[in-house]
Amino acid sequence: MFLKSKTHLLLFLAFLALGSAIQFSHALDWVDRKILDQQFSLLRKYRPQPLNNDVVIVGIDEKTFATFKEPFALWHPYLGKFLRAMALARPSALGLDIVLPKHSYHFLLPQYDQSLLLGLIAIKPVAPVFLAQNMDPDGKFNQIFAPYISIVGKNSLASVMVCLDDDGTARSLDPYSCPQLAQVPTMSGKMAHQIGVQRENTGLIDFSVGASFDYVPFGEVLDWFDQHNEQQLATLFRDKLVLLGVILPYEDRLTMPVALLRDAPTARAVPGVLLHAQALRSLMAKGMIHPAPQYYLFFLVGGAALFWFGGNGFKKGSAFAIFPLVMLGVSFWLLSKSLYFPVSSIIGSGALAFASRLSLDTILQIREKRFIRDAFSSYVSPHILKEIVAGRLSQNLGGTRRKVCVLFSDIRNFTTRSEGLAPEKLIGLLNEYFSEMTQAIHNHEGTVDKFIGDGMMAFFGAPNDLDCPEINAIKAAQEMLARLNIVNDSLQSRGIEPIAIGIGLHAGEVVIGHVGSATRHEYTAIGDVVNTASRLEGLTKELKYPIICSAQVAKVVGYTYKLTDLGNHAVKGHSAVHVYGGNPGA
């Protein structure tokens, strides 16, 4: 027992180490990301978190590009006008998620930079404006025309770079997970700081905050400015965080955990400006989502590995079935509290421990059943052994009523024969004889109950049910006589006198079950049918038929088996019995 317990403990520690290795190797991170995305979708649907002062997006869409014929790099007049419109609207902060020129176009069009410069000058005293920087293919942040920076200040430069997860989805702007982001502070972090939000811009973006984004077309903002519609500008943008970005179907798109664009309610690939807007929302609400401490996860991985212990029963199976649901429920609840709780390594550790223990127990059970079958196959009939191995045979003392056909057989004049044979030869003779007789009974789904000296008792119809036990029994009796001829041929070839036997058959209701003591009992049949079958076997010598059966048996088997009506005969300890004789060899 100590060795067994020690082995179980070592295997538990192995599963604990394996589960921890899975956790620290991040091998199942892709599963956790899929779960996280679904949880964000559920939170948005069932626990929405609206913002009173939401982020406003101004979108440069297809209609805008169709209206303005110049290349985007020469949109200085339009961008300048937009900045002057924002100066009238007075937002709390403005972020330009577009790439501004890195040099002057004065050589191409004199004074062409002036309109954009004037726009920056107009917005500077009214609201802080942040200029986007992204990383070029060389790994350096793009440069912006120096006069633009001199107007708004170097502190207005902000990163809009995005690092994607391994599955190509954008879920964070965390400089700890993406070192490039640490070079320049993010636009969302700077804009949030401008309105007094001091939270760290680390962790996962909370995609459960806010509804799907709509946007204000860039062209409409310019129209309101041209129309001097300051009221409309103030209504939409006054004291709001405003982001200007490109809203095109196939450009600057990022895959996100949820669909964020109202115009595309099922599309997770959305304009990049929406990611920065959602990051702003997160900072304005409860902050970014941070992962649970690693030691918590390690502790729970160890707890899940405890599924290795204990037998595989209903309680353990039910606990394992509920376990993933509980873990997912806890993870969902913690996510709503801004805590990321990845559960795949925990559930995986539990599943591995449970499945391994189940597999081991199954293998051991198969080996145990095989051992029982091999060890007891020569002690009980195959049908009884099959029921024992399958666990369908009750181990309790007592029995049940069953209709069976009982067979008794006996070697005639065996006492006289035994006087002239050595005990060893006598046992050899009996074993040779019983081997053939037992095979005949088993061939017809009978159960050998016991051997009584030179006699044997068998019954048909238990423990396995038979459509007609009487037919099985008489077929077995006929095969016994046929096999007896083979035994006798062998005996005669060795100079031994042949054997003659008698067989008695009777059918009816008996009590089948375990008889004996709690420590030693046997599966047998009890009842008048058994006694009568034994007495009928005793009539075979007197009536000179090798098979004597009762009328109950003969009535069922009919005339197919050449039975002769022998009338009523008295049997010891019983009223007269109507019997039939059978002699297949006649």
Q: β-strands 56-60, 241-246: how paired? A: parallel
What phi, psi does 505 have (nearest 5°)? Answer: -130, 135
Kindly report, residue by residue over 531-558, the tens digit of the pLDDT.
999 999 999 999 999 999 999 999 999 7
Residue 379: per-residue pLDDT: 47
Q: What is the dihedral of CA 380, 383, 388, 394, to 10 degrees?
A: -100
Residue 163: per-residue pLDDT: 86
Residue 371: per-residue pLDDT: 65
CB 78 within 8 A of CB 58: no
Q: Which residues contact 265 (CB under 8 A, 6 or more apart)?
A: 212, 259
Q: Which of 43-57, 360-374, 394-408 has the highest mean pLDDT?
A: 43-57
Give CA 337 to chain center in angstroms.
28
Which one, of 407, 540, 409, lies nearest residue 470 by Cα?
407
CA atoms within 13 A on the CB side of 117: 14
Query: In sequence order, what DSSP letters do the residues of 57-101 get, joined into one string?
Result: EEEE-HHHHHH--S-GGG-HHHHHHHHHHHHHH--SEEEE-S---
Q: What is the dihedral of CA 23, 24, 30, 36, to 10 degrees?
A: 70
Per-residue pLDDT band at 181 (split at 50, 70, 90)? low
Residue 579: per-residue pLDDT: 95
Residue 4: per-residue pLDDT: 60
Kindly report, residue by residue over 555-578, the tens digit of the pLDDT.
999 766 788 999 999 888 788 999
Q: β-strands 574-582, 563-571: how paired? A: antiparallel
The yes-or-no verdict on residue 161 having pLDDT over 50 is yes
The yes-or-no verdict on residue 138 having pLDDT over 80 is no
- Percentage of residues in the chain with pLDDT exceeding 90? 52
Which one, of 74, 155, 86, 158, lies nearest residue 120 by Cα?
86
Gap between the Cα atoms of 519 and 526, Å rounded = 20
Per-residue pLDDT band at 509 (split at 50, 70, 90)? very high
Residue 123: per-residue pLDDT: 95
* C-alpha triplet 531, 533, 534: angle, nearest 5°: 65
Gap between the Cα atoms of 488 and 490, Å rounded = 5
Residue 376: per-residue pLDDT: 47
Residue with more model confidence, 420 or 91: 91
Q: How many residues does the chain have?
A: 586
Residue 243: per-residue pLDDT: 97
Instruction: Specify the range with the lowest mean pLDDT, choosing from 184-193, 290-299, 392-401.
Output: 392-401
Per-residue pLDDT band at 487 (split at 50, 70, 90)? very high
Residue 365: per-residue pLDDT: 76
Residue 3: per-residue pLDDT: 43
Average pLDDT rounded to a whole number, residues 389-414: 77
Q: In which residue are the tokens 């929302």 written?
A: 281
What phi, psi does 436 have (nearest 5°)? Answer: -70, -40
* Residue 243, amino acid: L
Per-residue pLDDT band at 83 (split at 50, 70, 90)? very high
Give CA 552 to chain center in angstroms.
57
Kindly report, residue by residue over 434-468, the tens digit of the pLDDT.
999 999 999 999 989 899 989 999 999 988 888 99
Gap between the Cα atoms of 525 and 514, Å rounded = 9
The yes-or-no verdict on residue 516 having pLDDT over 50 is yes
Kindly report, residue by residue over 233-250, the tens digit of the pLDDT.
999 999 999 999 999 988
Per-residue pLDDT band at 70 (split at 50, 70, 90)? confident
Residue 395: per-residue pLDDT: 56
Cα torsion angle, 97, 99, 102, 103, sign: negative
Superfamily of domain 396-582: Nucleotide cyclase, GGDEF domain (3.30.70.1230)
Domain with CATH 3.30.70.1230 in the chain: 396-582
The yes-or-no verdict on residue 271 having pLDDT over 60 is yes
Average pLDDT rounded to a whole number, residues 87-92: 96
Residue 26: per-residue pLDDT: 75
Kindly report, residue by residue over 289-300, the tens digit of the pLDDT.
998 888 888 888
Instruction: Specify the range with the lowest mean pLDDT, choosing from 184-193, 223-232, 329-338.
Output: 184-193
Share the mean pLDDT of the chain: 86
Per-residue pLDDT band at 586 (split at 50, 70, 90)? low
